[in-house]
Structure 1
Amino acid sequence: MTRIARFEAVLFDCDGVLVDSETITNRVLCAMLNEAGWALTSEACLQLFIGKMVRSQKDLIEANTGKPLTDVWMEEFYERRNTALEKDVKAIEGAVEAVKALHAQMGGQIACASGADRKKVEMQLRITGLLPYFEGRIFSGHELPRTKPFPDVYLAAAAALDADPQRCLVIEDSVTGTQAGVAAQATVWAYHPPLHAVCPAHELEAAGASRCFAHMGELPQLV
């Protein structure tokens, strides 16, 4: 069996794997939660919300702010977040080259499967030059019955590529996303840059990641 034949498809998370967006989104979210009355540090906010859909943490937010999580608040969050991302988001170092190489290696059998809303995902891929490699193969947890840590978004991506989930490789950087990939019965590798990883390697491994790697540029040679 060739190295490429180990997997039928490669399914990428977006935030923190393809685009360096998590600290930008976290900055906006932390500021808005503090404005709402929850005294929360940037570090604590990142740990609480990394890899999770904000609306899915409704009970936690309401318990700590003492206020309902309204559609108006969420719309303001999306607007402020998207403005910040438009200004500052960049591709993860080595991600563009890795995606380009894997798109060729896998015969186009790659997809982006994110827990984020589609508008955000497509905007970030467009800004970073990654959109052409994923157009028509972008999946959002917002559009499915359940988002990460449930497997729905990865199962949808695998089905669209006519790939067996058990022969898909999922690339993640968070515990929540790793759990989603494992629940889909895929192989999960965790992108874990030692100097700015969002989750400790031992937590990613405990969640089911079978490999951690430090630079996205390494990925084509590992597959």
Structure 2
Amino acid sequence: MRYDLIIFDNDGVLVDSEPISNTVLAGYLSELGHPTSYEESLRDYMGGAVHRIHDVVLERSGQRLPEDFDKTLHARIFAAFEQELRPVAGAEELLGQLVADGTAYCLASSGSHERIRVGHLVAGLDEWFEESWIFSSQDVGRGKPAPDLFLYAAERMGVPAERCVVVEDSPLGVEAARAAGMDVYGFTAMTPADRLPGATGYFSGLAELPGLLA
């Protein structure tokens, strides 16, 4: 293993939440008078913190989203998670292999701590993560594509940035990892490689990852 720490993104990498959350988000924005397709939601918001949604809508329309937008959005997403959320294929096997090999890992997500916890409980991944291994954009001032979250995770885990590798599936996440001075492998299950420029390498299934990082 040529890295001392693997930093996983969560949504779309460990839990198969992106189709669910972007379907909900597109529908809610459209309800509010900001017509958004599923594909546009993926393009504009995948991998970003919720404040990015507010910023983009305000910039494009000059209108602010309702004060209860975040609360309503999360309630709708959590309800959908309860019905539909599953782990990404191979996630449990990969985490089990990392534990068996003694490889250090953590999670750095644009989602809130509540969203991460709910998702892991529903998907059955909660047993693989100590609370102190989970980092959210809530913990830092700026979410992805700023490098703050990945740098914070590395600092808290006690590993220099240059000894970390990030596993990401969004353009914003790849950009953030590069800005943090970390290698980053792009997961292409949902996002084509050409939309993840600057990644150190690419893979389409989690089973491929150990070989890439060895």
Determine helix, strand or coil for the equivalent of 1:68: coil
- Is 1:203 paired with 2:172? no
Letter in 2 for 1:83: A
**Deviation (angstroms), 1:158:** 1.1
Q: Deviations over 1:40-75 (max 9, x none)?
A: 221112211111123223232235566422331221
**Deviation (angstroms), 1:103:** 2.5
User: 2:45·2:52 contact (CA, 8 Å) conserved in 1?
Assistant: no
Q: Give 1:112's match in structure 2, choosing from 95, 107, 124.
A: 107
Q: Deviations over 1:14-41 (max 9, x none)?
A: 0010010001001111111111112222
**Cα distance, 1:163–1:59 mapped onto 2, change above 3 Å:** closer
**Cα distance, 1:185–1:63 mapped onto 2, change above 3 Å:** closer
Gaps of 5+ in 1: none
- Is 1:213 paired with 2:203? yes
Q: Give 1:149's match in structure 2, choosing from 131, 145, 150.
A: 145
Q: Percent identity?
A: 34
Q: Which residue of 2 aligns with 1:222?
A: 212
**Cα distance, 1:41–1:104 mapped onto 2, change above 3 Å:** same
- The number of equivalent residue pairs is 212
Q: Deviations over 1:93-121 (max 9, x none)?
A: 1111111111332x251001001101011
* TM-score using structure 1 length: 0.89
**Deviation (angstroms), 1:215:** 0.5
Letter in 2 for 1:33: L
Q: Which residue of 2 aligns with 1:192?
A: 188
2: distance between equivalents of 1:104 and 1:185? 28
- Is 1:131 paired with 2:123? no
Aligned alpha-carbon RMSD (Å): 1.6
* TM-score using structure 2 length: 0.93
Gaps of 5+ in 2: none
Letter in 2 for 1:146: R
Q: Which residue of 2 aligns with 1:41?
A: 37
2: distance between equivalents of 1:69 and 1:138? 29
